[in-house]
Amino acid sequence: MSNPDLGTTLEQEQLEQIDQGDHERYSHYVKKDKIVESAVMGGAVIALCGKVWVPNRDPGKFPVCPDCQKIYETLKGD
């Protein structure tokens, strides 16, 4: 965005917001290819429930997120 009166240019940057919420308490469902990509590139993933975070813990040590579970069940068709 330019302001000709000031002779300046403003740049808007959209930062990805990483959720610091309850992802520590639950394991979440994420597409397998996104988990692999995150492991290789170090980026954040988005769970079925909408949580955004960088995975760095063993998901087997935590209960499954109830919201992810509900969404996953509807996707499976059960």
pTM, two decimals, is 0.64
Q: Answer whether residue 5 is part of any domain.
A: no
Count of structural domains within the chain:
1
Domain extent, residue 61, equals 13-77
DSSP 31-64: -HHHHHHHHHH---EE-TT--EE---S-GGGSPB
Confirm whether 28 is domain-assigned. Answer: yes
43 assigned to some structural domain: yes
Q: Is residue 4 part of a domain?
A: no
Q: What is the pLDDT of residues 2-60, one digit of tens each?
A: 445 555 544 544 444 444 555 568 999 999 899 999 989 989 999 999 999 888 888 89
In a domain, 63, yes or no: yes
Residue 67 lies in a domain: yes
